[in-house]
Amino acid sequence: MTHSLTETFPRVRIAHVPTPLERLHRLEGVLGSPVPIFVKRDDCTGLATGGNKIRQLEFYFGEAREKGVSHVFITGAVQSNFVRSAAAFAAKLGMKCTVQLEDRVAGKDDLYHHGGNVLLDRMFGAEVVRFHVGEDEDGADKNLEAMAEEAGSKGEVPYVIHLSESPRPLGALGYVCAAEELLKDFDMRPFELTHVILPSGSASTHAGMLTGLCAHGRSDISVLGACVRRDASLQGPRVRRVCQALENMMGLDAVVDDDLVRVTDATFEGGYGVVGDSTREAMEMGARLEGLVLDPVYTAKGFAALIDFVRNGEPRGPTVFVHTGGLPAVFAYGQSILR
């Protein structure tokens, strides 16, 4: 598949795409939905149990490979899907990888700190270091850069994948591609896509999808981001800034108007990785109605926002939930999920 908007950027094509689009008939029945509901199965992108990060990392590692990088550095929460996916990418491409884990979620047990994604980080051969300040993006990035500088002084060619906002949001390009893919999904169906709902954290997935749709002339499709890292008053402006940075990086005229940036914190439940009633309900409904495994940090909160959206009578037409993966984290949150 050719993506004319992104073809000038170096890319390592590893993701299993296009991912499936499935209709959620049983969920529609239980919610009494007046419109069709679909799930875009980006949990099926292949590498390292899949997820949205695989699409994003194709562009980071495309640049890294072009630069002759030997050692990749990345930071994220203890159960970060991004970190786990980067470790797998590095292993597949023969690069060293150092992952820095930030302790963002208080009161977690040994299983959380050593199982799930952390276990996979180690299985993929990554060096694992800890950064015990959980909410300091700039500090985490500076620590990462210091480690990369030291590696460079020893003759390695380092590459840093930052956590904080960047003037070059390469990962968002993955969801510019996904937007085009989603439009093609609906070319083959007797429905006109109206709404997209997805988890919104770093804003790369959200901004990429929104910018991609708008760049293809489909600003009529509503994109709603479910807050998973910060409340709506902070997340909305972040999404807007990433959209602007993405437009600049791609050389686009401004295609995303301010009023198109939509976020909700109705299912945020008080913090990153906090498992509350709506998160548990979403996990249960996804699993028992449709056989979908939703993680408690991202996808369950996004799915809860979908449920809330339908219950409040908001959908005007066919609605797609983007399943961004996160399977390994489920095995680190057992006690929180079952409580």
**Residues 6 or more apart from 153 whose CB is under 8 A from it?**
none
Helix (H, G, I), strand (E, B) or coil at 229: coil
Residues belonging to the active site: 80
Residue 10 buriedness (CB in 10 A; 0-12 / 13-18 / 19+): middle
CB neighbourhood size of 271 (10 A): 15
Which amino acid is present at 267?
T
How far CA 169 is from CA of 207, 212, 247, 315, in Å, comes to: 10, 14, 10, 30
Supply 180's token pair: 């085009």
Q: How many helices (H) and strands (E) does the chain have?
A: 13, 10
Supply 174's token pair: 């993955």
Cβ–Cβ < 8 Å for 185, 196: no
Cβ–Cβ < 8 Å for 72, 96: yes
How far CA 110 is from CA of 107, 123, 255, in Å, comes to: 10, 17, 46
Between helix 277-290 and helix 299-311 the angle, nearest 10°, is: 90
Residue 53 buriedness (CB in 10 A; 0-12 / 13-18 / 19+): buried
How far CA 305 is from CA of 161, 196, 249, in Å, comes to: 29, 11, 31
Pairing of strands 37-41, 21-23: antiparallel
Residue with tokens 């562009």: 59
